[in-house]
Structure 1
Amino acid sequence: MSLALQGRRLWVTRPQAQADPLCDLLQQAGATPVRVPLLQILPPEDPQVLHAALARLGDYAVAIAISPSALDSVFAQLGEQAWPADVPLAVVGPGSARRARELGLRDEQIICPATQFDSEGLLAEAAFAPEVIQGQRVLILRGNGGREVLAQTLIARGAQVDIVSAYRRLPPQLDAATLARLLDAGCDGIIVSSSEAAAYLFTQSGAALVQRLQSMQYFTPHPRIAAVLAHHGASRHVLTEAGDQGIVNTLCRHFNRTP
């Protein structure tokens, strides 16, 4: 894969704090990553709610962190407090699993789907089977808003679910003129890892810029994100493998195949 992406300028649209690992891999493959954060990650509106939930972590049979942002916020709040050894932490993808390990959790404490990296994949894990989760307390740590399928399904299976906002997602601090200048500098592809970010890219731009964005090549790890892009008129999108290395592998194959 060495320098397989030489000369390619690729937008990385993750929040600023989460972009480094993917940017590093892209650079190792010869690409020029351009950081274009399409989400702002801020503390929750009421941090005391999160603080209170973490103070009683031992009361839960399992906790679920929806994203790396949730993990970062939670462990920043924990400070010197250790994660309870007997409380598994469930995450929905390899990026979050890697981040959980970096934050000190052991593999045996982490629940992560092997293939389908979303709420439905997590719900298929043995720990969330109806006969296992019924009557158990579950803590969901997420951003403001988000899909409800995870909480709704767990409640239907008999679990007692507490949902706590660990952080807030806000639109990017990017204007149309800045995006236009970045496009003028050259862009071979836009990597989008969030449905919300995909929507912001188009809703925060003027009509003329939207037309340019619709013609761009997109790379995304989930069909749901591709559907949002398609809804906004972007027809050129490639589904990637999961995880940062999977994204880079897909990019290498794509650009080696495409003149």
Structure 2
Amino acid sequence: MSALRGRRIWVTRPAGQAAGLIAMLQAAGADVLALPLIEILPPEQPGVLQQALANLRDYQLAIAVSPSAIAAVLAALPQPWPAEVPLAVVGPGSLRTAQEAGIPNLVYSLEQFDSEGLLAIPRMNQVAGERILLLRGNGGRDLLPDTLRARGALVDVVQAYRRAPPAITAPGLLAELARGCDAMLVTSSEAAQHLFRLGGAAALQSLQSQLYCVPHPRIAEALQTEGARHILLSQTGDAAMTARLCHHFESA
């Protein structure tokens, strides 16, 4: 497959999460630039995470909202994940990370790969009186904890990692734009915001005219708010995003 031959594609996922996607794009012929727009750092209070994990068996359910959360938990976990504590995950990336780590008893949606999809499955409607550990980064939406509390659960929200702005500088971004970009893959609304803040006025018109491929309508909306005009909406997952780009350029 060479549908992307000669195309320069930017992958903006955090370092450590982009290898599979980059490999698929390269297999399709793309010249790939890894440009992480979010840096993943340890939590501000690692002791809080360590204490929660030491008491993991006190919870009837744990939730990890991203691959970064699962990776941080696995790095801090003092023992193998207890089989009696289900782990709910959001999205195929988180599911794959948990499965590769051998975590048993996984809870996930097969139909919608976001917080709304997870909340819609029967298990998440049977939480009254349960203690739930929600593992996530700093910030983020409060839909999961708010909804679960409204359903009668006792939810402890613990920061497993921190998201920070990218390490690349504005001159570095401008230099890469000058080298050319046929499409950017953006996989979070926060990354989209970092991109436009980093580029500033000097890169605004160029960034607004780029082609973006995103796996969720919420990310598309974030880009549209910044003035982006060319957005491909893909299904979630590395293969789906690669196929979406291939189809676009084959049809161009």
Q: Please, what TM-score do these two structures have when normalized by structure 2?
A: 0.98
2:137 to 119, 140, 143: 143
Paired AA for residue 42 in structure 1: L
Deviation at 1:29, TM superposition (A): 1.2
Structure-2 separation of matches of 1:21 and 1:240: 17
Does residue 239 in structure 1 map to residue 238 in structure 2? no
1:230 to 203, 224, 232: 224
Alignment of 1:1-259 (within 5 A): 2-79=1-78, 81-106=79-104, 109-129=105-125, 132-258=126-252
Native 8 Å contact 2:174 2:199 kept in 1: no
List per-residue Cα deviations over 1:98-143 (Å, max 9, x = no partner): 011111124xx111211211111000011111xx110011110000
**Identity fraction in percent:** 54
Q: What secondary structure does 1:162 align onto?
A: strand
Paired AA for residue 159 in structure 1: A
Deviation at 1:84, TM superposition (A): 0.5
Gaps of 5+ in 2: none
Native 8 Å contact 1:213 1:234 kept in 2: yes
Q: What secondary structure does 1:6 align onto?
A: coil
Runs of 4+ in structure 1 deviating by more than 3 angstroms, as ranges, are none
Paired AA for residue 162 in structure 1: D
Q: How many residues align?
A: 252
Gaps of 5+ in 1: none
Paired AA for residue 4 in structure 2: L
Structure-2 separation of matches of 1:179 and 1:128: 42
Native 8 Å contact 1:67 1:92 kept in 2: yes
Structure-2 separation of matches of 1:39 and 1:242: 19
Deviation at 1:72, TM superposition (A): 0.5
Q: CA RMSD in A?
A: 0.9
